[in-house]
Amino acid sequence: MKNNRETKIRLDITILIISCIFAAAAYVLQIPQTLFYMVVILSLFLCMAVIADLYRLNGRKDYERESAAGGRGSQYGACELILLNEQEKPVKSWDLTGEISVIIGRKSKDEDVDVDLGECEYSAMIDVQHATLNFCLNSWYLEDLDSHNGVKVRKIEDGVCYRLVQSRPCRISPGDVIYIANTKLLFT
């Protein structure tokens, strides 16, 4: 992630230098006044946008935390989905490091999913595309994809199990248990 930050900073500085060169070239070549003002205004606009972006990137400390912890979202401990059996013992896991969108469901000949629950005990109750996890604004959100048997979340904060309303994402935290039909996934 740190390399992405450095690349973005280099790109911003390159854009800044090129816009300054265009403004200087317009002045040296003595292009018509209207065109000159347009070039200068465009260059100033680009410079302001780049400076704002550099300021924003410089102020973000979570890049270092993400890089040190192993990937996007990991500063919140959210790196894995763990399939639990009836005794709450781990059966299988899926790594979320570097992911921004994950489809949970049952693999079919026409559809592939990121988290395949087709071999689970209750797989007949799971839709091909049952739910999705999306990483946005430094948090993970779970959304029911119009499934027949629904999606529930048992929140770690209060231990209460909530049923998701379709098309309304729910923010989830490490320690929450996701119920896809009767299948349990621990979000860690």
Average pLDDT over residues 134-144: 91
pTM over 0.85: no
15 and 46 in contact (C-beta within 8 Å)? yes
Element (H, E) at 163: strand 161-163
Distance CA 153, CA 156 (A): 9
- Rounded to the nearest integer, the mean pLDDT of the chain is 81
Distance CA 178, CA 188 (A): 11
Residue 83's CB is within 10 A of a number of other CB atoms, namely 19
Distance CA 141, CA 101 (A): 9
The confidence band for 3, taking pLDDT boundaries of 50, 70 and 90, is low
The confidence band for 54, taking pLDDT boundaries of 50, 70 and 90, is low
Element (H, E) at 80: strand 80-84
The confidence band for 59, taking pLDDT boundaries of 50, 70 and 90, is low
Average pLDDT over residues 121-129: 91
Query: What pLDDT sits at residue 76?
Result: 43
Q: What is the pLDDT of residues 165-184, one digit of tens each?
A: 987 899 999 999 999 988 99
